[in-house]
Amino acid sequence: MKWWKKLLIAVGILAALGLGLIGYGVSKVSDVYEEKIQPDMQRYVQMTKAEQDEYVIAHMEDLMKSIQSDDTDEKVKLETEAIEKDPASRQAAVEVGRSMCAVLLSASEDITSKLSAADKAKYEEEGKALEARGKAFDKAVEDYAASKSK
């Protein structure tokens, strides 16, 4: 998947995390990014890893709704249940959320210009891992479903 597709996915997901402005068009997304997402992301980079994980977990329901909008209700229910009941699925979902935030951070010159080279590299690597982490999440949910049906 190309980087710009990942960026669009991440922008859409974060917009759905409580901003509710996906359908307003590109210009509105830009305004929303500058007014709401960018300050959230500026706070995000100042958080510890544990605080970042808590941030992602706090927005997990909206995150799942936004990335699964085209899937069947049963699949969404299974993923939600797996996140709630299975520690491996929950951790995989947190990693996906961290990657989505990292994609946004890496694309923002305003935020990355204030980061150290090590932090920039860390967020770039997390962003690049989005696809792999998404597959790991799908696998964790599949494993949960298999263990549940036994």
Name the range with the highest mean pLDDT among 30-44, 85-99, 106-120.
85-99
pLDDT for 24: 40
Is pLDDT above 70 for 69?
A: no
**In terms of residue numbers, what domain contains 112?**
3-144
Is pLDDT above 50 for 87?
A: yes
Q: What rounded mean pLDDT belongs to the chain?
A: 77
Domain count for the chain, please give it: 1
Query: Cα separation of 100 and 10, whole Å?
Result: 5
**Mean pLDDT calculated for residue range 116-143:** 90
- Residue 82 is classified by DSSP as H
Where are the strands (E) in 16-136, listed by range?
none
pLDDT for 21: 40
Q: Is residue 150 part of a domain?
A: no
Cβ neighbours for 120, distance < 8 A, ≥ 6 positions apart: 106, 112
pLDDT for 12: 61
Q: Which two tokens stand for residue 93?
A: 């979902």
Q: Which two tokens stand for residue 10?
A: 């991440």
Is pLDDT above 70 for 59?
A: yes
Pick from 104, 99, 100, 118: nearest CA to 42: 104
Q: Is residue 149 part of a domain?
A: no
